[in-house]
Amino acid sequence: MPDQSTPHPGAPQPPPNPFPNFPQPAPTSPLRVVVADDNPVVRAGLTALLSGRADITVVAEAADGREAYEAAHFHRPDVVLLDVRMPGVDGISALPYLVRIAPVVMLTYSRESEIVQEALRRGAGGYLVHGEFTADELVAAVRDIRQGRAHFTPSAAGALLAQLRQEQAARSPRSLPEGLGTYDSQLGAAANGTIPSMAHPRLNSSEGLSQLQPSVRQSSSDRSRFQLSAREAEIMDHIASGMTNQQIAATCFISEKTVKNHINRIFAKLHSTSRSEAAAKWLGTAPGSARGLG
């Protein structure tokens, strides 16, 4: 019986394959991230949020600038998320060394214009202020920074705009192409108002970062979402910043017993059983949170 697998000599041959055998693309390696923040609650929340994405892996955590540099030097990440205010070596001091290894995104509560400007001067590829972005926006920023695209939240962008206006005001006017700026003198003569000054106080060389108090405030929409009172929201901000009950009491000028009563009500409203769980929900790092880390 003839072999059925062998075509008959007179049978028509199949046409040649017109498409070349393209090599299969190699699987994309995960985006490797180092997270540096001295607040363990924030650090754990960031790690959980980013690690939940299939294309992102947090390879190390750090509690200060020195640990961040050591982790980046060892792991060679694609992106470093860096806080500003940390004990020991702060983020601004570590920044010029870290950018030699990987792109760096400042992720912080510090929104002072002089700090934003100094971070960018030292090489930061983006500046994100907690409370001004969603979880998805943070993930998009991390992916974009790897590709060289900068990201700034509104207050950081405002600081850059203020700096640009200051620099432009100090320079002599540039000549414009013909037809542009023709009527500026007429409009100026007709305007009676004045443009408010965009000047900002400079950071004195003797003034350390620790002397600048951060603004860690949730928006009114976040407060109403959890149905917290103004005082409860203030205390929740302090909890998310890592403060103890004693520190909160001293800051708010109330007793520790009153702080504990507020915290019990906060836990009930946030459906939480611990400070870390409440902070994760408040900062938006808990699964299913509507906002990002703010």
Integer Cα distance of 10 and 109 in angstroms: 80
Q: Can you list the domains of the chain with their CATH numbers? A: 31-161 (3.40.50.2300), 218-283 (1.10.10.10)
Res 94: pLDDT: 92
Give the best-scoring range by mean pLDDT among 31-35, 38-42, 160-164, 281-285: 31-35
pLDDT digits (tens, 9 = 90+) for 183-225: 544 445 444 444 343 333 333 333 334 333 344 445 455 566 7
According to DSSP, the residues that pair with 80 across neighbouring strands are 34, 104
One-letter amino acid at 271 equals H
Residue in this structure with the two tokens 């980013």, named with its chain if needed: 50
Sheet holding 79-82, edge to edge: 56-62, 31-36, 79-82, 104-108, 126-129, 151-152
Residue of 76, 71, 75 lying closest to 89 (CA atoms): 71
Q: Are 160 and 200 in contact (CB under 8 A)?
A: no
Tokens representing 141?
Answer: 């920023």
Integer Cα distance of 101 and 107 in angstroms: 18
Average pLDDT for residues 216-241, to the nearest whole number?
74
Q: Report the residue count for the chain.
A: 294
Stretch among 160-174, 228-242, 244-258 having the lowest mean pLDDT: 160-174
Residue of 61, 80, 87 lying closest to 119 (CA atoms): 80
Integer Cα distance of 241 and 256 in angstroms: 17
- Per-residue DSSP letters for 133-188? S-HHHHHHHHHHHHTT--EE-HHHHHHHHHHHHHHHHHSPPPPPPTTSSTTHHHHH
Res 19: pLDDT: 60
Stretch among 133-137, 182-186, 229-233 having the lowest mean pLDDT: 182-186
CB atoms within 10 A of CB 259: 23
Integer Cα distance of 142 and 258 in angstroms: 40
- The pLDDT of residue 75 is above 90: yes
Average pLDDT for residues 150-170, to the nearest whole number?
78
Confidence (pTM): 0.54
- The pLDDT of residue 137 is above 60: yes
